[in-house]
Amino acid sequence: MRKLMAILMLVMVVAIVHTGCKKDKDEIATCNDGIQNGNESGIDCGGSCDPCEVEIIPTCDDGIQNGDETGIDCGGDCDPCEAEPTCDDGIQNGDETGVDCGGSCPPCEVLPTCNDGIQNGDETGVDCGGSCPECPFECGTSTIVDIDGNVYNTVAIGSQCWIDRNLSVMTLTNGTPIASISDVDAWDTYLPARCYYGNDAGNDAEFGQLYNWHAVATGNLCPNGWHIPSADDWEALDSYLGGSTSGAQLKPGGGTGFDALFGGHRWPVGQFFDVDSRGYFWSATAASSTDAKRYKISSNALLTLQSVYKEFGNSCRCMMD
């Protein structure tokens, strides 16, 4: 009986020990015990635990900023990252519409064109002149240039268009120089000739030059499209201005813009007279074989027709054809 009891006690001890060992083993195999156990393929992962993470090796084309990259797939061991666009980097980037301009940068400069409705570039008018088509002529606004490069403003009086100062040209439009005669004895010549009043070149800026009628008769004093007015042209001007006060209206401040100064004249014998008191202007009309018609403007209000020797030296104005 005692022997049977001992055997039963031994069996119970073995059973208790076996049960305890099994219980300890089950508790160790968990997914958070920090040990690779049970059916885990890694520490607390794999098997009946969550899958183990796969290690990602950084590359320059994985679409992730990783490794030593300073941006996504750039910087570090990869190619340098593109700089943020600025308005002074010398590159058209970002939302720019030109190099460092447009978008969020200052507006881009508009290059001049011949149809932008603005006078810009080398234009002399709106979308004309310079490298654009020639500007249409507008009397009173447009200027003309003689063969020597002298520039003249224009003035409209009635239906006529005149230059607003006396001619200073020294070359005929066919390229022939006009003889400059200062010698008193040599002035009396039938060749085209010119001179400064008093032979003083300083008078040119104010009064222009004096020409004999032989220079006028060449038909080549004025630029193309312009001419020395005929007697009929002068008479039409006088009539338009009312006759009795024409001279006063043609002088500076007279309201017409003609600005006739008292430039004097040169006699055929070579002497100079009447500067600052009278102005004498040739017409293109001959009065005889020796004389031609000119118009005088003096301190009175008249525009006076005269016939004088063709060897007189008088001022000249050009009128549009």
Helix (H, G, I), strand (E, B) or coil at 236: helix
Residue in this structure with the two tokens 């996504």, named with its chain if needed: 72
Q: What is the mean pLDDT of the chain?
A: 89
Does 174 share its domain with 285?
yes
Does 226 share its domain with 128?
no
Does 126 share its domain with 191?
no
Tell me, yes or no, whether 60 lies in a domain: no
Residue 17 reports pLDDT greater than 70: no
Residue in this structure with the two tokens 């794999």, named with its chain if needed: 46
Does 232 share its domain with 108?
no
Residue 19 reports pLDDT greater than 70: no
Does 300 share its domain with 282?
yes
pLDDT of residue 22: 45
Angle CA 4–8–11, to nearest 5? 140
Q: Are 161 and 319 in contact (CB under 8 A)?
A: yes
Residue in this structure with the two tokens 């603005």, named with its chain if needed: 118
Rg (CA), the chain: 52
Closest CA to 320 of 144, 174, 150: 144
Q: Are 167 and 146 in contact (CB under 8 A)?
A: yes
Cα–Cα distance, 59 to 239 (Å, whole number): 97
Tell me, yes or no, whether 267 lies in a domain: yes
What is the extent of the structural domain holding 129?
Answer: 99-136
pLDDT of residue 55: 67
pLDDT in tens, 163-215: 999 999 999 999 999 999 999 999 998 899 999 999 999 999 999 999 999 99
* Token duo for residue 232: 């009929």
Tell me, yes or no, whether 246 lies in a domain: yes
* Token duo for residue 148: 């020597």
pLDDT of residue 20: 47
Number of compact structural domains in the chain: 2
Per-residue pLDDT band for 42 (boundaries 50, 70, 90) equals confident
Helix (H, G, I), strand (E, B) or coil at 213: helix
pLDDT of residue 73: 87
Cα–Cα distance, 228 to 281 (Å, whole number): 10
Does 229 share its domain with 299?
yes
Residue 24 reports pLDDT greater than 50: no
Residue 235 reports pLDDT greater than 70: yes
How does 101-134 read in b/e, with b if 16+ C-beta sit within 10 Å?
ebbebeeeeeebeeeeeebeeebeeebebbebee
Cα–Cα distance, 276 to 203 (Å, whole number): 11
Q: How many other C-beta atoms lie within 10 A of the C-beta of residue 241?
A: 22
Residue 15 reports pLDDT greater than 60: no
Tell me, yes or no, whether 37 lies in a domain: no
DSSP letter at 131 equals T
Does 204 share its domain with 231?
yes
pLDDT in tens, 93-117: 889 888 999 999 999 988 899 999 9
